[in-house]
A and B are shown apart, each in its own frame.
Chain A
């Protein structure tokens, strides 16, 4: 799975280029996030603007990464399509992760 990556105001913005984040893509998502955390990234925004479908396996990858990051870091998500936003809401992950309408909003929330 391909990712685009940017650094904006010291925050890593990771954009999966797959439209589908399902169980076949979840290991790559997990590896991408944990790889950056292991390199010392403490604030990561996952830009889901290209994603039209996400399932519970991909959510599990996010949770695994958040556990690796621990309480001193943050993973935020942005640009959620309607079905993805509904998944976060139904599973209450919108109470666990910072959910933002845009990457800019997520950056403001993270760096002020």
Chain B
């Protein structure tokens, strides 16, 4: 589906959105579109962090979201002078405790012995570390994962 892009010049706000299928092969397309949206908005390091947060969140949605739904996953971007906001609507119910405990402390290692390392479980912490705010919101009757990066 095509993305939509709208500049509201009076408020200097950028709105854009796109839909992707529930398939991991869609991750690259979503990331490429995000990078296009953020060109000239964020420097490369900040944009890379937002890209990582988006890809980790979409991967989580595709792997663990409502598999019975044929509905696509919605990605919504808002850019203002103050912040970059990404919202993801995947049809999931609110999960207010999903990010409990996520963060740098969860990525720390008790041992560098590879046998003791988990192969997964880092995605939510990477989202928390890449963005300034992570929450669930209700918008237009949808539950959305909301991720905010402050620009100042």
Q: Is the CB of A22 within 8 A of B27?
A: yes
Stretch of B48-56, B67-75, B83-91, B141-149 on the interface side: B48-56
Tell me which residues across on chain B come within 8 A of A60, comparing CB atoms.
119-120, 122
Q: Is the CB of B122 within 8 A of A67?
A: no
Bin the interface of chain A by size: 20 to 34
CA distance A60 to B118 in the complex (A): 8
Total A-B residue pairs with C-beta atoms closer than 8 Å? 82
Q: B residues near A, CB below 8 A?
A: 24-25, 27-28, 31, 44-45, 48-49, 51-52, 55-56, 59, 62-63, 104, 107-109, 112, 114-115, 117-120, 122-123, 126, 129
User: What would 12 A/B residue contacts be, using CB atoms closer than 8 Å?
Assistant: A22-B59, A53-B51, A55-B59, A56-B122, A56-B126, A60-B122, A63-B119, A83-B45, A87-B52, A90-B129, A91-B126, A95-B109
Top 10 A-B pairs, shortest CB-CB distance: A24-B24, A83-B48, A60-B119, A56-B122, A66-B114, A23-B59, A56-B123, A92-B109, A22-B27, A23-B24
Besides A53-B31, A63-B114, A82-B48, 6 more A-B contacts (Cβ < 8 Å) are A55-B59, A56-B120, A61-B119, A63-B118, A67-B114, A92-B109
Q: A residues near B, CB below 8 A?
A: 20, 22-24, 53, 55-57, 59-61, 63-64, 66-67, 82-83, 86-87, 90-92, 95-96
